[in-house]
């Protein structure tokens, strides 16, 4: 039964990807203009051709590094704010309007303003922090709220220290929500960093490579870079979920 379930879990994503490629291939055949829509085979060829280029790997490294540290800078305050908002009513009254304000600012405005203000290498990371932070805060808040109030009450009766409660009650019971929020959050983070890199013309980045490909009308390269971004995003999301499953053994 377990093997059958695992097989089903593998087969469906493969079928969906195959269907997307098939639709893409049919559309490319119908349009018959690789400048507008290159075929999957042309795009994959361009994708594999990048493997031999050092600049491609440098760009991947830079974009990933930017995504990673911007994610950490969103993740830590999101957890702290979620815990504070859950614990103190007045903290929530301050934090919630602040989050609502950040969330309501259009992403494109944030990107354009920050590009003016900041160094193009830093701006994409700051954009990602500003956009991802409210998303992570919301999912972490939901994770904190899902902690069983009866366990919190039991901990209070037995006078368990706050450090012990955070370490053994709050964090482990928040963990499923933390990993789920982080998996989708990190994936979105990569996409945001790439978009901001493209607009900020950040040197040696996936975003700027996409920008150049578009300017030079090398559409198959643009598609190849998109495939690279999708793979990065999917692999990171999958890796976070895998770590989550390993950590939350008790579930």
Partner 1 sequence: MGDTFGRQGGDPMEMKNIRLENIGKNYAKAQVYDHFSLEIEGGKITCLLGESGCGKTTLLNMLASLTPYEGKISNVPPRISYIFQEERLLPNLTVYGNIRYVLGKDADRDKIMDVLEKVELAGKADAYPKELSGGQAQRVSIARAFAYPSELILMDEPFSSLDTGLKIRLIDVFCKLWKEENRTAVFVTHDAEEAYMLSHRAVVLKGGKIAADIAAEGDVPRAYGAPSKYREEIIRALLGQEKA
- With respect to partner 1, which residue has the nearer C-beta, 175 or 227? 175
Contact in structure between 48 and 220 (CB atoms under 8 Å): no
Query: Should residue 159 be labelled a site residue for partner 1 when binding is judged by CB under 8 A?
Result: yes
CB of 71 to partner 1, least distance (A): 25
CB of 156 to partner 1, least distance (A): 7
Longest pairwise C-alpha distance within the chain: 72
Binding piece for partner 1, criterion CB under 8 A, among 69-77, 88-96, 154-162, 193-201: 154-162
- With respect to partner 1, which residue has the nearer C-beta, 105 or 156? 156
Query: Should residue 6 be labelled a site residue for partner 1 when binding is judged by CB under 8 A?
Result: no
Q: How far apart are CA 49 and CA 178, in angstroms?
A: 37
Contact in structure between 201 and 211 (CB atoms under 8 Å): yes
- With respect to partner 1, which residue has the nearer C-beta, 96 or 180? 180
Alpha-carbon torsion (231, 232, 235, 241), positive or negative: negative
Query: Should residue 173 be labelled a site residue for partner 1 when binding is judged by CB under 8 A?
Result: yes
The string over 5-20, giving b where at least 16 C-beta atoms fall within 10 Å of a residue's C-beta and e elsewhere, is eeeeeeeeeeeeeeee
- With respect to partner 1, which residue has the nearer C-beta, 117 or 167? 167
CB contact set of 103 (below 8 Å; sequence gap of 6+):
134
Instruction: Enumerate binding residues for partner 1 (CB under 8 A).
Output: 150-151, 153-161, 164, 168-169, 172-173, 175, 248, 250-251
């Amino acid at each position: 039964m377990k093997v059958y379930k695992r097989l089903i879990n593998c087969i469906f994503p493969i079928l969906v990807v195959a269907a997307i490629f098939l639709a893409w291939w049919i559309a490319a055949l119908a349009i018959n203009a690789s400048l507008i829509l290159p075929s999957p085979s042309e795009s994959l060829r361009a994708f594999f051709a990048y493997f031999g280029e050092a600049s491609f790997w440098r760009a991947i490294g830079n974009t990933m590094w930017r995504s990673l540290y911007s994610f950490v800078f969103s993740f830590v305050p999101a957890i702290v704010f979620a815990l504070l908002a859950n614990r103190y009513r007045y903290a929530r009254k301050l934090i919630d309007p602040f989050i609502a304000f950040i969330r309501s600012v259009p992403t494109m405005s944030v990107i354009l303003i920050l590009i003016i203000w900041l160094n193009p290498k830093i701006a994409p990371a700051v954009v990602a922090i500003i956009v991802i932070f409210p998303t992570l805060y919301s999912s972490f808040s939901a994770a904190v709220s899902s902690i069983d109030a009866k366990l919190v009450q039991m901990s209070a009766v037995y006078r368990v220290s706050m450090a012990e409660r955070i370490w053994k009650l709050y964090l482990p019971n928040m963990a499923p929500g933390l990993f789920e929020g982080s998996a989708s959050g990190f994936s979105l983070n990569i996409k945001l960093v790439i978009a901001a890199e493209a607009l900020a013309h950040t040197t040696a980045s996936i975003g700027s490579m996409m920008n150049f490909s578009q300017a030079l009308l090398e559409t198959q390269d643009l598609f190849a870079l998109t495939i690279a971004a999708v793979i990065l995003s999917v692999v990171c999301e999958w890796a976070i979920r895998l770590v989550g499953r390993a950590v939350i053994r008790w579930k």
